[in-house]
Structure 1
Amino acid sequence: MRKIALLSALLYISVCAMAQEDTTDNQNLDEVVVFSNKFAEKKKNLAQKIDVINARAIAKFNSQNTGDLLINSGNVFVQKSQQGGSSPVIRGFEASRVLLVVDGIRMNNAVYRAGHLQNAITVDQNILERVEVIYGPASTMYGSDGLGGVLHFRTKLPVLSATDKLKVIGNAFVRYSSANEEKTGHADVSLGGKKFAWLQSYTYSDFGDMKMGNNYKSKYPDFGRRSQYIKRINGIDSVVTNSDDRVQRFSGYKQWDITQKLLYQQSERVSHSLNFQYSNSSDVPRYDRLQDTRNFGGSIGTTLRFAEWFYGPQTRLMTAYELNVKQLGFFKDLRVNLNYQDIKESRQQREYRRYDRFDSRREHVKVLGFIIDGRKTWGNNELNVGLDGQLNDVKSGADRTNLTTGAVTKLDTRYPDGDNKMNYFGLYAQHLLKMKNGKLVLNDGIRLQSVSLHSTIVDNSFFNLPVTDIKQTPFAVTGNLGLVYMPVQNFRITGNLSSGFRAPNVDDAVKLFESSTATGRVIIPNADINPEYTYNFDLGFTKTFHEIVRFELTGFYTLFNNAIASAPFKLNGQDSIIYNGIKCAVYASQNVNEAYVTGFNARLSIDLSKKLSWDNTISHTYGRYKNPDGTKIPLDHVPPVFGKTSLTYTDKKFSTEVYGMFNGWKKIKDYNPDGEDNGQYATVDGMPSWFTFNWRGSYVFTKNLTLQAGVENIGDRNYRYFASGFSAPGRSFIIALRAGL
């Protein structure tokens, strides 16, 4: 923690020192173009805070998956329950409260849970052109779910040829990482003529069991160690001593991703495109659950509970057709998108030596969507308007297999076994007005959002729930009002008011599952929960000093009404039931009175010379909610202070970077006692602070061949991210060879 405090102090002192110098500089502020308003817009004109991870940074970070890519940015916190999981956190909001968007299409669906999600890694980071991180409520443009922010993944486009000659662009790489013996291969190619262009991309990754660091804090010498595991030997479950307790046995998995795009340029004004994305995986072990021990009469024992607990192959299929037209009647630009998504996931588990109970729960989600966006410009005004919809259909099945006899019997499903339908429809308008020769820019917008949910329970024999037909039809009006003021060149002040909305989805309202062995709780349906609302205020400024120093600071306060949290509940008058052979307290998702989240993030970048630069980020978040009795309880999902500091040298052929990643302490008193903070996977005092020292570099042999190498966690620090049940990699050597056409 002393190191983190020192870094923070250095950042503050550096800023103060620079601020005392002459601030009359001539460098233009960042002219980065973003697409958060659906159409291209200069970032400097938008009041909402947005960060961009571009293609060059994506290649430089050389990350194993999309979650690691976000971590490497230094601006997004990511929780992990297993190696095949990455749950982004933006401003203390996570999972279903952070909206994932790929190529303008919502990924969030009716079963995105409020706990921790792994869906972000089903987007192949190796084919991304950019990632836009949008901070704060984004319901005006994107509708329900974007309470904390939006992660907009934009994949590469096929490239047309300007001549009669076929335009060929190709990229490929192979990579190896030692901590988990990762082996990844990727190739993509774009073939373009004058009218047609085609893009094809493949990625395959094989991740072995992850090895954690060996440099432990002296107070917690055994933290995270995997001393034993369960292995089936000659048909009998046996507890086996781990030959190396730093290796997280049964954490490895495989993944493959395919992207295909076809572009047809009908004329200068009209284009058509097809977008196909497919992601699949092997079984993904739920590593945190494999550490759970058996619960005896309410107390936790020392015997491992699960012989098997894994997610079955998770598949994500997306197909989309898009029409783009310029100068059509009222609109300068018009976009129409029709899309379909098909998602399959499952949960498989079996307790130690329970050969009669191999439980399988399976979900199949189909989503049909449409988006119509139009842009009109006149004078100093820009107006974006749109209509969008998404129709979700969820099928949930479950069965129990006796591995000895092969008999298959019915099992309670995670979601109702009848119909589960959830539909979203929205209408929005977003306006931008440039005043005072562009020095003052007004951002204002409004959205009307309608949502419907209908779930039916056919077989109610398992729990005799009081309600078997659940319907909800919430309606919301959300909006935003912001100002950007640029009094002089390279100085920018922003203020932004925005509201967010999230309708309870199928996972919130009607799921049934055991939250964890350690807590001994079972979550049951509650049809009476209401939508969540956020009301947010941002204030930020960006200043460039002497053309070499850039400082950015944004503070925010978010009022969180009707926050949905897990709280004690009763089923048929009982506050506990027997579930999977264990007595569990009954809990349900419920609206708490009020919550708030506040914090800041800052960035300091200094060009020490033409080739040497220093970059620093730091983020801090604090959140509480009020119990009915008025007491304030820590809000779950809120990470400790975190950030990154890096020093980079870049020459024509050679680039090298030394960088540090850090997290502050998350004391156990600041954990939410009933939510998703997973105190059972931390130390008795909470999650310790940590700092890792890292290096990476690259050498360009030719314009078509580049070698990358790196060492992560050089000090071999043993650590975990807050709320994670999976330890981060120990010292890892990385090498990659990239080729291009």
Structure 2
Amino acid sequence: MRHCLPVLFSLAALNAQAQTVDSTRRSIDLDEVRVVAQKFQTKGPVPFQTETINQSQIAQRNPMNSADLLQQTGNVFVQKSQGGGGSPVLRGFEASRVLIVVDGVRMNNAIYRAGHLQNVLRIDPSMLERAEVLFGPSSLIYGSDALGGVMYFQSRNPELSGATNWLVKPSAYVRYGSATGERTAHVDVSLGNRRLGFLTSVTYGSFGDIVQGNRRRDAYHDFGKRFMYVERQNNEDVPVTNANPNKQVGSAYQQLDILQKVTFTPTEGVQHTLNVQYSTTGDVPRYDRLTEMASGRPRFAEWYYGPEKRLLTSYNLTLSRPTRLYDRAMLTAAFQHIEESRISRRLGAAARNEQLERVGVGSVNADLQKQAGRHLVQYGLELTHNNVHSTAQTVNVLTGAVGAFNTRYPDGGSTLQTLGLYVSDGVSLTKALTLNGGIRYGWSQLEAQFTDKTFFPFPFNQIRQRPAGFTGNLSLLYRPTDRTRVSLLGSTGFRAPNVDDLTKVFDSRAGVLVVPNPGIKPEYTYNGEISASQWLGNRLRLDATYYYTLFTNAIVVDAFSLNGQPSVLYGGQMSTVLAAQNKRQAVIQGWNLAAQLRLTNQLTLSSTLNGTQGRIKDSKNTPLDHIPPTFGRTALTYQSGRIQAEVWALYNGWKRIADYNPEGEDNAQYATPDGMPAWTTLNVRGSFKAGTYLTVQAALENILDENYRYFASGISAPGRNLTLTLRSSF
């Protein structure tokens, strides 16, 4: 049974867009996707591989967080290092090399790192109207960071009444999860009349220590078990035997999300939107680090992220009354304040190391669209300003004494400014043939100041960079009928070095010191892909995409020298000096196959499968890091009246240890000696509308209680997990 479910894929025939097709709709049309991620919501075919999740699907899939929402599509791979973690991977790119956008505002900031990130979890899926993924380089519209693609999250707007009377629409839900220890409560209220609307949303989630699956392969009967953890007793660190080794003690956390939106439509074609979002967590333990052992004992007594805070305030002006310059235009001005901290202490040590980062990000986006005969022209600009303030200290846990400690980024402060200008044109050559192309100019300026060099004897006091360059894309879309679509796409992407790349000082492990390197340059990708979609009859749709990407000037951490020396004395220990450098070229290629089969008007079978290969262009053909194994999803969905039900399987192939990058972010230390085993989970869920105002949802995930980990993850997935949800809307 362990791997029989993927066979359904071959039976189904094999989405980029499959989830956007309503299983009950009788008409056949490949144009139904509306791509918000292209700035303007436009009905029609697009030359990109996309994934769209609408509001009803979000409610039906009922995800614990936004990372799980993406993961459930079967087209996005997610790495996890802790219970409060989730790092999406798009086409072999992760973290700072993929872009997160919320309501038209980029979340990526100057300290996004290249390893693994959990920032997508700070987006509350309960507030979303839709989520979209745009696969492949997307720097034309979005500039830096969109090497692997864009994850676009559109929050809900207040619902207007269309009359002078006020429309009041409250809704709420509570959710329980057995294996995750989840207790989540949500409430929102929409209030609106013809011109003015208000939406308030609050979600609080408490998540316990995750209980992993108990059904293991015979060869790895102890894989993932948590035999020991640390407690503080009588001012001493005491290793404690875990009574339930499947309980991953040190994975619990809490999160609060608040949204307030105000919309005002003074006249037809003009809308003003004020958008305030706030997310904060409790302490988020770094579970993978807490499981590391030294001489048979835990290496760390404490390792956690302090409360992660994200405040977004934005103003959006949308104009849809045509003029000579545009048919539609959007202006978005935003400010974000982010706080992140890292706290760690070795077992038995008195000194707790604390590093705190505060980032302020201001941005302005202007995007305009104009239809001129056969041409659909889009153009715009983006301005951003990042200000990074980094502090650090040690705290003696016995006496409370505060001491000096090295900051993660320059203590004198860092700034990163960017400017982007773009123009694109889509021209209908014939009724069946469309040509799209565009170009973008990007410029950035980074400055960092080292004031106190007690910990860092660098031969420089300041870092300054001003990279600039052009990117673009060109595509040909052929659509002979509304049942067939074939597209060819060439695109480029770039990522300018940020503060984390250029200035981070980080002792990642004992005897190793990563130091700043002012000489690194932007990374580039050159991508070509072909995709096709076809309806066969009125019931079966097939989708396929193949892509080939050349990754150049890739920034990697490698051997370096400081003051001419390959090693330095740091923290009382001789440490090898490493630094970020442009030393890598790589090739990434892969494919996506998908199918949707309407068995009846109520019953739909869908399946998707993804494969990615990545190799460094060197004499050893070394594997590139961040490359997931083959993965996918197969689902049988039923919908009729008040009842919705789904049986689905998620599956991952083997990631053999020989395919791990030996020096990157693949985390071989958290895998088996042979790599990460293949796995399949069987799951079922259903919902019943019990009355006018009440819906009951239940799901049983990982029914067979499989023990598994996603590749590169340092925490095991939940075992058999029962979730119960009560939803009410008025």
- 1:584 is displaced (CA, Å) by 4.2
Q: Does 1:34 align with 2:35?
A: yes
1:371 is aligned to 365
Superposed CA deviations along residues 403-458 of structure 1, whole A, max 9, x for unmatched, are: 22222111111001012000110001121112322x11111111010011111111
Which amino acid in structure 2 is aligned with residue 695 of structure 1?
Answer: V
Instruction: Identify the match of residue 689 of structure 1 among 674, 678, 690.
Output: 678
Which amino acid in structure 2 is aligned with residue 504 of structure 1?
Answer: P
Q: Does 1:709 align with 2:728?
A: no
Give the whole-Å Cα distance in 1 for the aligned partners of 2:176 and 2:571.
Answer: 41
Q: Does 1:452 align with 2:452?
A: no
Give the whole-Å Cα distance in 2 for the aligned partners of 1:418 and 1:121.
Answer: 30
Q: Does 1:403 align with 2:404?
A: no
Q: Are residues 603 and 516 of structure 1, via their aligned partners in 2, closer, same or farther at CA, if it must alter by over 3 Å?
A: farther
Q: Are residues 580 and 169 of structure 1, via their aligned partners in 2, closer, same or farther at CA, if it must alter by over 3 Å?
A: farther
2:181 is aligned to 181
- 1:167 is displaced (CA, Å) by 1.3
Instruction: Identify the match of residue 436 of structure 2 among 416, 422, 443.
Output: 443
Percent identical among aligned pairs is 45
Q: Are residues 516 and 487 of structure 1, via their aligned partners in 2, closer, same or farther at CA, if it must alter by over 3 Å?
A: farther
1:250 is aligned to 250
Give the whole-Å Cα distance in 1 for the aligned partners of 2:80 and 2:267.
Answer: 47
Contact 2:556-2:584 within 8 A present in 1 as well: no
1:668 is aligned to 657
SS in structure 1 at match of 2:37: coil
Which amino acid in structure 1 is aligned with residue 263 of structure 2?
Answer: L
Q: Does 1:468 align with 2:461?
A: yes
Give the whole-Å Cα distance in 1 for the aligned partners of 2:27 and 2:99.
Answer: 38
Q: Does 1:640 align with 2:629?
A: yes
Give the whole-Å Cα distance in 1 for the aligned partners of 2:260 and 2:323.
Answer: 29
- 1:375 is displaced (CA, Å) by 1.2
SS in structure 2 at match of 1:59: helix
Give the whole-Å Cα distance in 2 for the aligned partners of 1:581 and 1:254.
Answer: 37
SS in structure 1 at match of 2:289: helix
Instruction: Identify the match of residue 569 of structure 1 among 560, 564, 569.
Output: 560
Give the whole-Å Cα distance in 1 for the aligned partners of 2:33 and 2:3.
Answer: 36
Instruction: Identify the match of residue 421 of structure 1 among 400, 415, 420.
Output: 415
Contact 1:34-1:132 within 8 A present in 2 as well: yes
Give the whole-Å Cα distance in 1 for the aligned partners of 2:655 and 2:512.
Answer: 23
The equivalences for 1:296-335 within 5 A come to 301-325=295-319, 326-335=321-330
- 1:626 is displaced (CA, Å) by 2.5
SS in structure 2 at match of 1:484: strand
Which amino acid in structure 2 is aligned with residue 354 of structure 1?
Answer: A
- 1:257 is displaced (CA, Å) by 0.3
Which amino acid in structure 2 is aligned with residue 291 of structure 1?
Answer: T
1:297 is aligned to none
Contact 1:625-1:633 within 8 A present in 2 as well: yes
Give the whole-Å Cα distance in 1 for the aligned partners of 2:586 and 2:277.
Answer: 38
Instruction: Identify the match of residue 342 of structure 2 among 335, 347, 350.
Output: 347
- 1:322 is displaced (CA, Å) by 1.2
1:163 is aligned to 163
Give the whole-Å Cα distance in 1 for the aligned partners of 2:85 and 2:231.
Answer: 23
Contact 2:210-2:248 within 8 A present in 1 as well: yes
1:591 is aligned to 582
Q: Does 1:386 align with 2:380?
A: yes
2:84 is aligned to 84
Give the whole-Å Cα distance in 1 for the aligned partners of 2:4 and 2:417.
Answer: 49
Give the whole-Å Cα distance in 2 for the aligned partners of 1:702 and 1:584.
Answer: 66
What value does the CA root-mean-square deviation take over the aligned residues?
1.6
Superposed CA deviations along residues 165-202 of structure 1, whole A, max 9, x for unmatched, are: 21122221000000022000111111011121001000
Superposed CA deviations along residues 347-371 of structure 1, whole A, max 9, x for unmatched, are: 001111111x111000000001101
Which amino acid in structure 2 is aligned with residue 643 of structure 1?
Answer: G
Give the whole-Å Cα distance in 2 for the aligned partners of 1:691 and 1:226.
Answer: 22
Contact 2:528-2:547 within 8 A present in 1 as well: yes
1:108 is aligned to 108
Superposed CA deviations along residues 555-606 of structure 1, whole A, max 9, x for unmatched, are: 0000001011122222334434455566543322111241110000111110
| Unmatched runs of 5 consecutive residues or more in structure 2 | 15-25
Give the whole-Å Cα distance in 1 for the aligned partners of 2:539 and 2:10.
Answer: 21
Q: Are residues 31 and 6 of structure 1, via their aligned partners in 2, closer, same or farther at CA, if it must alter by over 3 Å?
A: closer
- 1:646 is displaced (CA, Å) by 0.7
1:234 is aligned to 234
1:605 is aligned to 596
Give the whole-Å Cα distance in 1 for the aligned partners of 2:13 and 2:158.
Answer: 44
Instruction: Identify the match of residue 551 of structure 2 among 556, 560, 563.
Output: 560
Superposed CA deviations along residues 191-221 of structure 1, whole A, max 9, x for unmatched, are: 0111210010000000011000000111001
Q: Are residues 145 and 732 of structure 1, via their aligned partners in 2, closer, same or farther at CA, if it must alter by over 3 Å?
A: same
The equivalences for 1:503-522 within 5 A come to 503-516=496-509, 521-522=512-513
Give the whole-Å Cα distance in 2 for the aligned partners of 1:501 and 1:634.
Answer: 22
2:23 is aligned to none
Q: Which moved more, 1:212-221 or 1:646-655?
A: 646-655
The equivalences for 1:148-297 within 5 A come to 148-294=148-294
Which amino acid in structure 1 is aligned with residue 684 of structure 2?
Answer: W
Give the whole-Å Cα distance in 1 for the aligned partners of 2:218 and 2:408.
Answer: 42
Which amino acid in structure 2 is aligned with residue 228 of structure 1?
Answer: M
Q: Are residues 580 and 60 of structure 1, via their aligned partners in 2, closer, same or farther at CA, if it must alter by over 3 Å?
A: farther
Superposed CA deviations along residues 236-285 of structure 1, whole A, max 9, x for unmatched, are: 11010000000010110100000001011111132211000000000000
Q: Are residues 583 and 657 of structure 1, via their aligned partners in 2, closer, same or farther at CA, if it must alter by over 3 Å?
A: farther
Contact 1:37-1:384 within 8 A present in 2 as well: no
- 1:4 is displaced (CA, Å) by 7.1
Q: Are residues 403 and 26 of structure 1, via their aligned partners in 2, closer, same or farther at CA, if it must alter by over 3 Å?
A: closer
Give the whole-Å Cα distance in 2 for the aligned partners of 1:348 and 1:199.
Answer: 36
> Which 4+ residue blocks in structure 1 deviate beyond 6 angstroms?
none
TM-score, length basis structure 2:
0.96
- 1:99 is displaced (CA, Å) by 0.2
1:489 is aligned to 482
Q: Are residues 654 and 583 of structure 1, via their aligned partners in 2, closer, same or farther at CA, if it must alter by over 3 Å?
A: farther
2:666 is aligned to 677
Contact 1:176-1:736 within 8 A present in 2 as well: yes
- 1:547 is displaced (CA, Å) by 1.1
SS in structure 1 at match of 2:296: strand
Superposed CA deviations along residues 635-677 of structure 1, whole A, max 9, x for unmatched, are: 1111000000111111111111111100111111111111111
1:123 is aligned to 123
Give the whole-Å Cα distance in 1 for the aligned partners of 2:649 and 2:623.
Answer: 28
Superposed CA deviations along residues 492-545 of structure 1, whole A, max 9, x for unmatched, are: 00110000010010001110113346xx63322111111000000110000011
Give the whole-Å Cα distance in 2 for the aligned partners of 1:215 and 1:43.
Answer: 46
Contact 2:84-2:253 within 8 A present in 1 as well: yes
Give the whole-Å Cα distance in 2 for the aligned partners of 1:26 and 1:407.
Answer: 71
Give the whole-Å Cα distance in 1 for the aligned partners of 2:537 and 2:571.
Answer: 65
Q: Which moved more, 1:338-347 or 1:483-492?
A: 483-492
Superposed CA deviations along residues 599-646 of structure 1, whole A, max 9, x for unmatched, are: 00111110111111101011000001124xx33211111100000011
Give the whole-Å Cα distance in 2 for the aligned partners of 1:70 and 1:510.
Answer: 32
Give the whole-Å Cα distance in 1 for the aligned partners of 2:448 and 2:199.
Answer: 40
TM-score, length basis structure 1:
0.95
Contact 1:316-1:344 within 8 A present in 2 as well: yes
Give the whole-Å Cα distance in 1 for the aligned partners of 2:197 and 2:312.
Answer: 20
